[in-house]
Structure 1
Amino acid sequence: MKKIIIHVDMDAFFASVEQSLNPSLRGQPIFVSGNTARDSVIAACSYEAKKYGVKSGMSVFEGLNLCPDAITVRGNPERYIDTSRRIFNILLTFTEKVEIYSIDEGFLEITLEDCSYKNLKQIGLSIKRAIFEGTFLTCSVGISCNKTIAKIASDLCKPDGIMVICENEISGFMERLPVGKVPGIGPKTAEQLNLMGIELCGQVTRIPLSFFKERFGIKGEEIWHLCSGKGETNVILQSPEPKSFGHSYTLAQDTDDINLLLSVLCRLSHQVGMRMREEDYYGNIVVVTIRYKDFTSFTKRKNYPFWFNDDQTIFRNASSIIFAKPILQKIRLLGVSVSGIHKRYQMSLFKNEKREKMLKVMDSINKTYGAETIFPCLMLYEQIKCQTIKKTHAFMFDELKKFHSR
């Protein structure tokens, strides 16, 4: 019996989900973004757009310069999460050992007697077929004996491909593989290696390990082993403890409207707090990220001597960081996160029992009837400004204090 690792990577996931649900978008170059404004950021794009050189992280304006006929679609995170759940449930029908690597990719571990190329390819095709029948989406599948090689294989056979690299083929395969194709070797490191005359993994392994340790430190040892074709052979069945909880938002237009910024900040704090409470985590560090109109960024963190996971505390701390100094130029993105994360049972917490009970009721209502069914009224300013009023109930933090005193 032999252990086999399979890497499944969905093809242009966000864009493909939109195309599968809207027939008019199929075969069209599309951008998926937080909003449809020209200065918003492209979160994902279809393969039809990628042919023109469009990449995730570009602004919609840059993307349209490369692909003028592209259609910009506002992203729907809930739709993507739901589709992702369906995909991983399908993968679990093949094996219980499934690692969720990201929203659109995962590793499977299976043990087989017959590890022939023909049998491995047949398993990969079965996975692809099951996912397509369940979601109408295509994926790329890489199969080998460790996670590094399996991921390289799926990357190389995109889109909608399958690649099997048997154990006895790894050495020859890595010999001619460009170093920039190896997961864990980023563009800057690959560029450094290229400047040293090293372009292929085979060149790396012909140089003593000591050279890379001396040149790159601990990272050098990792580079040498990765280029040798070594990698993890065990999937992680449970995600590690989160290091932080955060949300960010790209505004429809650059703004210095303090009320709008406070409203967005309130919503982000509300979202972070709900996620933390859902998983029963607390933190004591608030991190705020701002991206300005000229694309320069500002990040600041602040430690607090107490633990929290409620919206009001997160919002109060985040706003005090942002507005500690005057805003000198318009803002295009806001981000809020809480780190220094610990589970409830690891500490003595929440002395305000009334507020804790009230938050549980709020979370229960939002979970039952949909996100933002009940929310701080400060968030209404953003909804009015963006004309996205929903039939919901807003409340003020002052109202909560009255509620506690009853």
Structure 2
Amino acid sequence: MGPLRTLYIDMNSFFASVEQQLNPSIRGRPVAITAMENEKGCCVAASYEAKAFGVKTGTSVPEARQLCPGIVFLPSRHRLYVRFNLRVAAVLDRHAELERIRSVDEFQIVLSGEETEIDSARALVARLKDAVAQEVGECLRFSAGMGPNHLLAKIAGKLEKPNGCQHLDRGNMPDRIAHLALDDLPGISRSMRERLERAGVRDIVSLCRLDPRHARAIWRSVEGERFVRALQGEPIPLVKTQRGGFGNSKVLAPEFRAPAEAYLVSRWLIEKAAARLRRDGRVAGSFALHLSPMGRFPWARSIRCAPTQDTLEFMRINRALWRRAWPEIRGGRLAAIGVHLGDVDYLTSRTGDLLLPVAPAERTQGERASAAADFINQRFGQGTIRFGVNRPHPGFFERG
């Protein structure tokens, strides 16, 4: 057995590449994907031809146009990209052992047998590149990283872009990544970098040589120890996370920024979040509302409630929170809003309530009505049944 256990695949400029695959006329041209179809939006993705001019994620549309006069702007179509994600995943799974889809453009593959050796792993990457190009599209390329665990494989996958292939293990660590800044590593935020620097850890080499027990103290969590042990090449597996809640947020288009309009959008967001909550068999014990007034400090409040999956109950709490916020936002404009259903647990774990009355794990009348609405909407189309007046605000995740 060789030193490698994980192959990490990072699709190159995935959104823009999908668009170029579907539209040959924009292949080889600078392309930017935008979240909003106006001059006030920003780029959420860019092709490598656009990146060569300095266009990157977060670049505003006017700035991108100035940097690259011939750039092509396209609205994001997330559902389309998800479909291509699944097509790529199917190809990878036929040719290798796909362990996990990490995101819409990232995949994790298990290496075993001969493929734990560097030469065999590189040969596998070459076969996967050919398979994706032939079975999904020639514009779809990826960079690959290999390592003894998911962290080193992911870092290796970022070292050579586009269309690269690199590996990290105890044989070339930490020298191979010594040129990186601390916050170039996944999981190291600016605040964590500052915390590390206060502890005397100012570069990658120092971090890699850190005693894992000291890392636990710096992180104030066992995750610090896990992180450093992974950097040192130990086979640290990913920990399965528990879902903390269901939420939706929206950067508002200009026509939705008046508080009265934004309130109706919040109702639409609640319908979507509550439907996902029920689809996952969960109940939520709290509801939070987040408002971002333009030119003012953000406003956020939450209310605890009996664990429920009743859309109308969340609507009632939402209305109460908007009433609290109204004196501070009336007459202004909102840049963004968000709702969050928190303190989640499974419906099967909920105890009964003699006052309702409802038996353990049994749905209330309102929850049964909500579930019936889900069934009808799934069969006849979203929005067939609504829980009162709302304002749909389709955007990044609804297109395609």
Q: When the two structures are superposed, what TM-score results if normalisation uses the length of structure 2?
A: 0.80
Output aligned runs, 1:230-379, within 5 Å. Answer: 230=233, 232-234=235-237, 240-253=241-254, 255-294=256-295, 296-304=297-305, 306-325=306-325, 326=327, 327-328=329-330, 329-347=332-350, 348=360, 351-353=363-365, 355-376=366-387, 378-379=389-390
Q: Secondary structure at the match of 1:241?
A: coil
Letter aligned with residue 373 of structure 2: M
Structure 1, gaps ≥5 residues long: 387-406
CA distance in 2, matches of 1:52, 1:123: 33
CA contact (8 A) 1:287 1:339 kept: yes
SS of alignment partner, residue 173 of structure 2:
helix
* Alignment check: 8 A CA contact 2:8 2:157 kept: yes
Q: What is the CA distance between 1:310 and its match in structure 2? A: 3.1
Distance 1:250 1:5, change over 3 A: same
Deviates more, 1:248-257 or 1:141-150: 248-257
CA change 1:275–1:200 in 2 (3 A) is: same
Question: Which residue identity is paired with 2:389?
Answer: L
Corresponding residue for 1:112? 113
Q: Deviations over 1:169-203 (max 9, x none)?
A: 33442455543332222244446767999664224
Deviation of the 1:154 alpha carbon: 0.6
The DSSP-based 3-state class of the residue aligned with 2:277 is helix
In 2, distance between residues paired with 1:223 and 1:235? 10
Structure 1 residues 203 and 75: alpha-carbon distance in aligned structure 2, compared to 1, 3 A threshold: same
More deviation in 163-172 or 212-221? Answer: 212-221
Alignment CA distance shift 1:290-1:46 (3 Å): farther
What does 1:156-235 correspond to in 2, within 5 Å? 156-175=159-178, 177-190=180-193, 200-205=203-208, 217-218=220-221, 221-222=224-225, 225=228, 228-230=231-233, 232-234=235-237
- The amino acid across from 1:367 in the alignment is Q
Comparing 64-73 and 259-268, the one that deviates more: 64-73
Measure the CA separation in 2 of the matches of 1:26 and 1:282. Answer: 47
Partner of 2:287, secondary structure, is strand
- Superposed CA RMSD in Å reads 3.5
Q: 1:369 to 1:134 in 2, by over 3 A?
A: farther
Are 1:145 and 2:148 an aligned pair?
A: yes
Greater relative contact order structure (CA < 8 Å, 6+ sep): 2
Question: Which shows bigger deviation, 295-304 or 78-87?
Answer: 295-304
How far has the Cα of 1:101 moved from its partner?
A: 1.8
Partner amino acid, structure 2, of 1:332: A
Please give the alpha-carbon distance, in whole angstroms, between the structure 1 residues aligned to 2:144 and 2:238: 16
Pick from 142, 151, 158 the counterpart of residue 155 of structure 1. Answer: 158
| 1:216–1:81 Cα change, 3 Å | closer
Contact 2:152 2:169 in 1 (8 A): no
Distance change (3 Å), C-alpha of 1:18 and 1:224: closer
**Separation of aligned partners in 1, 2:381 and 2:322:** 30
Contact conserved, 1:202 with 1:227, CA < 8 A, in 2?
no
Give the aligned length: 380
Unaligned runs of 5+ in 2: 351-359, 396-400
1:17 is matched with 18
> How far does residue 358 in structure 1 lie from its aligned partner after superposition?
3.7
Letter in 1 for 2:320: S
CA contact (8 A) 1:98 1:235 kept: no
Letter in 1 for 2:275: M
Aligned to 1:45: 46
Contact 2:149 2:235 (8 Å CA) reproduced: yes
Does the 8 Å contact 1:7/1:142 carry over to 2? Answer: yes
Q: 1:322 to 1:201 in 2, by over 3 A?
A: same
Partners of 2:213 and 2:246 in 1: how far apart?
Answer: 39
Preserved contact between residue 247 and residue 337 of structure 1 (Cα < 8 Å)? yes
Provide the C-alpha distance between the structure 2 equivalents of 1:61 and 1:78, rounded to a whole number of angstroms.
26
What whole-Å deviation, never above 9, does each CA across 1:43-70 have from its counterpart, x for those lacking one? Answer: 3333333334333345444544544544
Conserved? CA contact 1:292–1:330, under 8 Å: yes
Deviates more, 1:173-182 or 1:75-84: 173-182
